[in-house]
Structure 1
Amino acid sequence: MKTVFTILLSGIAFTLFLSSILFNKNLIYPNKLSLNSDKILKIDTPDQDRFVKVNLVQGEFTEPTEMSVLPNLDILVAQRRGELMLYKNQTKKLVQVAKLDVYSKTSLADVNAEEGLLGLTIDPQYASNQYVYLFYSPTGKSVNRLSRFKMVNDMLSMSSEKIILEFYSQREICCHTGGSLAFGPDRLLYISTGDNSTPFDVPKQQFVNKGYAPLDNRAGLEQYDSRRSAGNTNDLRGKVLRIKVQEDGTYTIPNSNLFPKGTDKTKPEIYVMGNRNPYRISVDKKTGFLYWGEVGPDASNDDELRGPRGYDEVNQARAAGNFGWPYFIGNNYPYKAYDFTNGTNGPAFDAAGAVNNSPNNTGLGIVPAAQPAFIWYPYGDSKEFPQVGSGGRTAMAGPVLYTSANASPYPAYYNGKLIIYEWVRGWVKAVTMAANGDYLSMEPFMANIPLAAPIDMELGSDGKIYILEYGKGWFSKNPDAGIVRIDYLKGNRPPVVSNLQIDKPSGLLPYKMIAKVKATDADGGKLTYIWNLGGGLKKTTTVPEIQHTFTKIGEFPISVQVIDSEKASSKSQVISVFAGNEHPKVDVVLNGNKSFYFPGKEITYKVLVTDKGAVVNKERIYISSAYTEGSDLAGAQLGHQQAAQTMVGKSLMAKSDCSTCHKVSSASIGPAFDKISSKYQQDSKAIDYLASKIIKGSSGVWGEVPMPAHPSMKESEVKQIVEWVLSLSAKGTAAASLPTTGTITPPQNINKDKPVFTLKASYTDLGAKGLKPLTTTNTYNLIGNTISSIDIKEFSGFIRKSNNAFELTKSSSWLKLASIDLTDVKSMNLIPYSNNDYMVELRLDKIDGKLLGNSNGTKSIAIKEFVIDKKFHDVFIVFKANGESKNKLVVSDITVEAK
């Protein structure tokens, strides 16, 4: 897919612009220039499917933090628990070359330490001096330390350590370490440090932080006051430091740091202050500009007493400065002073110079003027930077790319673009800047490559991007942790595998499985399919389909590798199938209309369950109903939506950021899903309760670490995730929340924010020998009886106004209601239509189809020819002018009335 930037130019202005593009090295080199007869210059972005991910090593790391690519393309990797690992480019092996004795675990229950071996970089002259710089937390001393070591015969010489710099860091608390190292021009070394402050609430207190700026200055609560660190000009925490290391291991201070050496109540090493957790940094090798990702606070909403909600930031420092924290966030949004003894607030902080009157402050009473963020975004959608999406937040800064038409492995289009990335959300973006560094735009970069929590990104001597993946799980050895290289294919591209489908994912023996895959090759190559059927069995086909009969009981992981005629290949996702047990069948039978529910009119239902080869245990049937948000016609997915539960909620969970913080059965930073399932098995309101917490965010239930808000997730999809989580408990559900046969009466007033009525029935069988229980859920959706104009997608002779209402523009026009049930429907009301200049007709399936009813000048159209076949039909609402109309006809909503 290509994005085209079109610039309208004319005359001399065009000539000057074209000259600047071709000859000014400060501008972005376009990948492709084309000029048409209308003097339109088009710049096409490179095809994203030409970026490919090459796995170098995977599944062998335990909490990798930062890496450095050596000149020979060997790669050093720091692990938080103290190991220094070396990936050998020639042998493709990973070896441990050192183990530092680091503080990496607290002695307090439910408090995670983030300290350890935090940062790593190599000397700009590494090829000749083999110097390695490590930033770590030594045991036995509450400091974070920067040291220089020497590599000797591919091992780190521990005796060569030169301690360059260390500073106090409060331990046995969480959080915010920073720790990233990077060299800039003139051999200047940059060191990021976190604010070493606790973002959580003080236990058993009335007035607490709630995810805003930690400004609690009460005695004994120093860790809850970031003014003692990030907001303190005389403290090295919450900063980016800049020094020049000498040959003997000492360092000097650059002249242009924030505070000249000798300035009272300041630290001369500070280049940038006002940082919460500048976790990954990079330095533009040409301009010397510093970039970093700032991991922001957790508040989901603005608060009149406290200040702004939380934002993550990507920042740019062209010179030394103060970037605000804990007085400001985002675009210099100010926090307010807050008294934690009585819950009253003071004035908002002044960006021209915030006052630091904390008793924990050892620095200046007024800090330097605050600089706004370069890019900033909250948990929810960002109005200023919509491309970043929504969800959890962990901003990271990568390198600035410099390319040329001949030398770079990447297209010249990316020359001068900053690469940023997200640990939690998993995306990578290319940021386009003006010649002076101002932000212009951002766009997806290597958009088709999935990443497992990218925690560091570096350029190798080959000009290629290397990415360190932490893996989706905190404080653990993750099977998806690894190092990848990003190649750009200028010739043949590997196939794109977009979908693997299994018609029936379970069955009794002998179980016949039919699998199909959707794969395309952009270069037109002939495709071969190698199917992995589990247990070491593989089969090859030349068509995208396979049939295989399993004769032994078991759970089998199914996947396929697709290979083109040039031997380039791609792999599908893995789907488990179950031989020896079959998913139960759950059916929901409704009497009456299958599209709409009506205020006060009973919905009669019956749930039928069959379990092939077993007797149905009615105690394992779970039935629930809810009213949820949804798009009335376009997104409600009306009628039956039956699927194996393992294929619905689990799939939605995998696509979200949930898997970054939670594992199915092992601990991460969040509780294991099976523990959540067990905790809420007996709670009939668990689905609504847990869905609300996912959308709004939560803290304090399973520990101090808050769960981020997900305001942009659809409630209906969140509930499917929750239902999958609840299905994980082996206990099953104690009893159905609703009977298998019954009636439900909708309220007289339908909530327009939650117009979809959802009836869900699930059944979990008892499993089979060697196989876990299987769950099937059937969902039946009905929409409220008012159809909003925004959900009508097909029309003719109307224009859609800014409020989404339709205004008629032609004498003969129509609106189409797609695929609805007309059972028990007696009339349709057009709101606010009332105009006797027009005849209105209801037509079945076609514009000139069967006439169901008509009206002349009244908004209510009675149906005279009832439809009783219980099928879904298209309904055309046709408008015909009675002569020359003098009045505007406007239609906003359509109400369906029942008999």
Structure 2
Amino acid sequence: MKYINLSLCLIALIFLQCHSPNSNQDEKKPDINRFEIELVAENLNQPMSMDVLTDGRILIVEKDGAVKVFDPYSQLVSTIAQIPVNKRFNQPFTTSGKKYDADDGMHGVVLDPDFDNNKLVYMYYSPEGEDSKSVLARYKWEGNSLDLNSKKILLEWSTQRERCCHWGGGMIFDREGNLLIAIGDNSGFNINDKDGDSRRTSGNSNDLRGSILRIKPEEDGTYSIPDGNLFTKGMEKTRPEIYIMGVRNPWRLTMDSKTGWLYWGEVGPSTDEFNRAREAGYFGWPYFIADNKKNTAIKTEYDTLHIVNNSQYNTGLVELPAKPIPSIAWYDRNPSELFPIPGSGSLSAVGGPFYRKADFNNAERPYPAYYDGKWFVTDYVRGWIMVIEVDDEGNYYSMEEFMPEGTFKGINDMDFAPNGDMYVLQYGHDSYAPYARDAKLFKIKYNGGNRQPIAKASSDKIAGSVPMKGRLLTEGTIDYDNNISQYNWVLTSESAESIEFSEQNPDINIEVPGVYQAILTVTDEEGAIDRDTIEITAGNEPPQVSIEFPESNSSFYFPGDEVKYSINISDDEDHQIDNSKIKIWADYLPEGFELQNFITNLKNSPIHFSANSILGKQLINQNNCTQCHRLNQKAVGPSFYEISNHYKGKEGVYAQLSEKIMGGTKGKWGQAEMPANPAVSLVEANAIVDYILNSTNSTEDKTSLPRSGTLKVANKDDAGHLIFKASYTDNGWGKISPLETSTVLGLKNPRVFVSSYDTTSNMRLYTPHFKQPNHLIPNGKTSYIGLNDTDLTGITKVGLDIINFAKIEKSNWKISLKANSPSGEIIGSSMLDNLNEEVDKFIKIPLKSTIGKKDLFIVIENNNYQKGMEVFEIRSVKFFK
């Protein structure tokens, strides 16, 4: 729960410091591999906030008003209530998503400190109806549902629904049982517009918006005002509920259980903040940001020591509290000069839990004392988690990234469970999208003891003729504690005869043809074990299959061009290659799909499946469609064969079935209802339909491509990889079954986004928006981008896609194209001011004739570079014939 018990925490802390034998070890920075990220729940619908019960269950509220519970024991998510909330603006204006989509809806949830006895839950939301307002409501949770009839409205206030944004939403109880509620400024981005003027909210002492409130809930569903708020009760033109005034969009509250001080993240206009309040105070928005820098959006001059709110919409005090409290840490779109905050570009600060180990004295796996007194924070856009250490006054002391290997998309809330695990609630980067694929709940567990080894079995040869000599390998086996005590291999034949090896990487010599199992068992000094198995086939050398592109570029395809290809096949046992057993396939992988996953599925797919069909099958498995549909057997719903036979050949079938997949349907095949799948995009739905319609086809419905030939490339610029697959199944040898070798190669679109380049140096990452690929910005006198193993045959120019080229075209930047190393042969070079942005928006650098594959380095130099000077963003690089 989001509240603390100070006396118990202090007693536990003293006890631990005096009696813990591992206290010194516990205070060292732990290895990052001691933390494990585990996905525990998905298929959530815009999750906004959560709170943790003392029994470990997680209470989650969603933007559309659903109240859900995750049970860590059953691993199930259940819905206990649906609160009617407002979901739309009145005007067609939004920062993301479709028109009218609103930040309004459900905002926050917190459990009563005495929840185990009184079962009370508090929620902050904007109710459904014509009356534009927000409320703080209390409900009783009985059994498996929230009693909606038990609702008590403690507090309500008027809002505007004309323009977005900023509702805040964090809530927490302090140690005196006071409830704190973070409320955003409910304002747009133009301070000269009524709905954008946050002086009427955050700068208004008579308005609850743009504040953090502090009230004392009473048993009868009312509230009282505790001592110590910013304004005394009865003071003219003020609201006594206000504890913190002058915030923009406070995002998640936490408290230090040792000091009782309040911490929160705050989303700013272009500078985001991490804030701390030791007592009631004024934090300056919209007049100040960060460490009390003036807000440049306010054009009129104002005295920083005598702040006058002269907005025509202000209903509160004209003279505001002087000298606002500054942030303890802040950052903007540029690299942070003061704080080690990673990345640059778009940003959205989110506060997380403040950790005190004394709060988890009896926890199963508490985080180590190294994190004691540190505040976990995140950024919704950039995805990192940081820990901020503060000094005895609660001021910034240091900061470091937590679990830099972790990748998150759109964290909305974080909190610790009683057992010590930290839960991370992820909204995802698809704003306003119901059931977005990244809307998930994770937990991050800490292992302070022995870590189980991870066995990885391999061999330098997994198939071959006899006598077959090889070596079994443990390469890739991991033990983070470095205490493996024993390696054991068992090589077993089909007749169950076996031989054991105690060496780590034993040599083997198989003389009898057959299929063998090689089982690796790894044991550490604590007795923890892990196993891995590989299969070895002796008696048949696998065929060799290669794909070549004679007279064509082997890295890129070019729209409207032709690709010449040739398939080479050899087999030691098959003296004549059986052409009927050759399968050659080519198709486009649409943009936006992960290449390696596709290649894995392609190798096991029949030749008559298109790339879309293969993707469709992959998506069907990911979305658990097989729970209701089988390939050729009726289940809850019709089989894919039935659907294919019914719809194939009908006009508009793709649009019709895609709509059913995304929106759901009922009654077509009986009484069973197919639920909606709003997280499935139209492109993905079409791929699923493609698989279903092709499920009744056989291999004979599509013939293999010839062993050599020419393929016409589609004349469009937005296609993804052009994938070739060639396979050959040999005739086996003796009693050994035939072996198949599949080779897959992909040709890239000639436009390559820099976010997918292989190497960079002295380039900083810039995140323009979380739905766009990252850009790179030169960050020194010499920087470079590298793309490995790139065929430059036939390439005459390399084009740079530079954002706002006009700003730097007359500058001292030099671009060099170098082969094989950043200091290698120069194969193209130019000063930027000698180049022009062409009609296609690319800055093109001539490339001298180069044959074959090279590691290509784009080296960017400026001897006059210094921090703060005008720089440029590179979005992509394009290769031209």
TM-score range (shorter-chain normalised) is 0.5 to 0.7
Match of 1:196 in 2: 186
Pick aligned residue for 2:398 from 441, 452, 467: 441
TM-score by length of 2: 0.56
Cα deviation 1:733-792 (Å, max 9, x = unaligned): xxxxx9985756999x998634233899xxxxxxxxxxxxxxxxxx999647999xxxxx
User: How big is the shift at 1:30?
Assistant: 12
CA spacing shift, 1:106–1:488, aligned 2, 3 Å? same
Q: Which amino acid aligns with 1:115?
A: D
Match of 1:149 in 2: 139
Pick aligned residue for 1:261 from 233, 256, 259: 233
> Residue 64 of structure 1 contacts residue 77 of structure 1 at CA under 8 Å; is this kept in 2?
yes
**Structure 1 residue 216 and structure 2 residue 192: aligned?**
yes
User: How big is the shift at 1:608?
Assistant: 8.0
User: How big is the shift at 1:427?
Assistant: 2.0
CA spacing shift, 1:454–1:718, aligned 2, 3 Å? farther
Q: How does 1:468-487 map to 2 (within 5 A)?
A: 468-474=425-431, 475-487=433-445
**Structure 1 residue 610 and structure 2 residue 565: aligned?**
yes
Match of 1:116 in 2: 105
Distance 2:213 2:337 in 1: 32
**Structure 1 residue 105 and structure 2 residue 85: aligned?**
no
Distance 1:428 1:519 in 2: 29
> Residue 346 of structure 2 contacts residue 767 of structure 2 at CA under 8 Å; is this kept in 1?
no
CA spacing shift, 1:49–1:745, aligned 2, 3 Å? closer
User: How big is the shift at 1:668?
Assistant: 9.3
Pick aligned residue for 2:283 from 323, 328, 339: 323
> Residue 528 of structure 1 contacts residue 562 of structure 1 at CA under 8 Å; is this kept in 2?
yes
Match of 1:127 in 2: 116
Distance 1:746 1:59 in 2: 41
User: How big is the shift at 1:179?
Assistant: 1.2
Pick aligned residue for 2:273 from 306, 310, 313: 313
User: How big is the shift at 1:569?
Assistant: 8.4
Distance 1:358 1:499 in 2: 71
Match of 1:204 in 2: none
Q: How does 1:436-585 map to 2 (within 5 A)?
A: 436-474=393-431, 475-494=433-452, 518=476, 520-523=478-481, 524-525=483-484, 585=549
Distance 2:247 2:206 in 1: 14
> Residue 487 of structure 2 contacts residue 522 of structure 2 at CA under 8 Å; is this kept in 1?
yes
Cα deviation 1:435-457 (Å, max 9, x = unaligned): 22122112233444443432211
Q: Which amino acid aligns with 1:187?
A: G
Match of 1:70 in 2: 53
Match of 2:377 in 1: 420
Q: Which amino acid aligns with 2:210?
A: G
TM-score by length of 1: 0.55
User: How big is the shift at 1:346?
Assistant: 3.1
Match of 2:355 in 1: 401
Distance 1:476 1:611 in 2: 47
Match of 2:309 in 1: 356
User: How big is the shift at 1:463?
Assistant: 3.8
**Structure 1 residue 275 and structure 2 residue 247: aligned?**
yes
User: How big is the shift at 1:295?
Assistant: 1.2
Cα deviation 1:251-287 (Å, max 9, x = unaligned): 1112211111222222111111221211211122332
Pick aligned residue for 2:75 from 66, 69, 92: 92
Pick aligned residue for 2:320 from 353, 367, 373: 367
Match of 1:392 in 2: 346
Match of 1:46 in 2: 30
User: How big is the shift at 1:387?
Assistant: 3.8
CA spacing shift, 1:516–1:170, aligned 2, 3 Å? farther
**SS of equivalent residue, structure 1 residue 261:** coil
Distance 1:153 1:111 in 2: 37
Pick aligned residue for 1:139 from 110, 118, 128: 128
> Residue 182 of structure 1 contacts residue 190 of structure 1 at CA under 8 Å; is this kept in 2?
yes
Distance 1:431 1:486 in 2: 18
CA spacing shift, 1:414–1:471, aligned 2, 3 Å? same
Cα deviation 1:277-334 (Å, max 9, x = unaligned): 112111223322111111122xxxxxxxxxxxx2111111111112122212222121
Cα deviation 1:790-829 (Å, max 9, x = unaligned): xxxxxxxxxxxxxxxxxxxxxxxxxxxxxxxxx99xxxxx
User: How big is the shift at 1:667?
Assistant: 9.7
Cα deviation 1:77-112 (Å, max 9, x = unaligned): 101111100122433221110001111234635242
User: How big is the shift at 1:468?
Assistant: 1.7
Structure 1 gap segments, 5+ residues each: 1-21, 35-41, 200-213, 298-309, 339-344, 504-514, 530-541, 545-560, 572-580, 591-605, 621-642, 648-664, 700-704, 722-737, 761-778, 788-822, 825-869, 873-899
Distance 2:564 2:767 in 1: 36
> Residue 343 of structure 2 contacts residue 765 of structure 2 at CA under 8 Å; is this kept in 1?
no
Q: Which amino acid aligns with 1:295?
A: V
CA spacing shift, 1:32–1:755, aligned 2, 3 Å? farther
**382-391 vs 68-77, which moves further:** 382-391
Q: Which amino acid aligns with 2:478?
A: T
Q: Which amino acid aligns with 1:384?
A: L
Distance 1:101 1:271 in 2: 29
Distance 2:27 2:294 in 1: 40
**SS of equivalent residue, structure 1 residue 49:** helix
User: How big is the shift at 1:469?
Assistant: 2.3
**SS of equivalent residue, structure 2 residue 169:** strand
User: How big is the shift at 1:119?
Assistant: 0.3
Pick aligned residue for 1:161 from 137, 146, 151: 151
Match of 2:300 in 1: 346
User: How big is the shift at 1:68?
Assistant: 1.1
> Residue 105 of structure 1 contacts residue 113 of structure 1 at CA under 8 Å; is this kept in 2?
yes
Q: Which amino acid aligns with 1:53?
A: I
Cα deviation 1:160-199 (Å, max 9, x = unaligned): 1010111111114221111111111100111111111123
Distance 1:315 1:498 in 2: 46
Distance 2:83 2:121 in 1: 14
User: How big is the shift at 1:246?
Assistant: 0.7
Q: Which amino acid aligns with 1:385?
A: F
Q: Which amino acid aligns with 2:289?
A: I
Pick aligned residue for 1:187 from 177, 182, 191: 177
Match of 1:596 in 2: none
Distance 1:433 1:716 in 2: 35
CA spacing shift, 1:119–1:54, aligned 2, 3 Å? same
**Structure 1 residue 288 and structure 2 residue 260: aligned?**
yes
CA spacing shift, 1:739–1:64, aligned 2, 3 Å? closer
Distance 1:742 1:447 in 2: 38
Match of 1:550 in 2: none
> Residue 608 of structure 1 contacts residue 740 of structure 1 at CA under 8 Å; is this kept in 2?
no
Cα deviation 1:656-703 (Å, max 9, x = unaligned): xxxxxxxxx99999999999x999759x99879999xx988879xxxx
Q: Which amino acid aligns with 1:364?
A: L
Pick aligned residue for 2:213 from 241, 265, 290: 241
> Residue 31 of structure 1 contacts residue 411 of structure 1 at CA under 8 Å; is this kept in 2?
no
CA spacing shift, 1:59–1:720, aligned 2, 3 Å? farther
User: Aligned residues, how many?
Assistant: 593
CA spacing shift, 1:75–1:365, aligned 2, 3 Å? same
Distance 1:673 1:451 in 2: 22
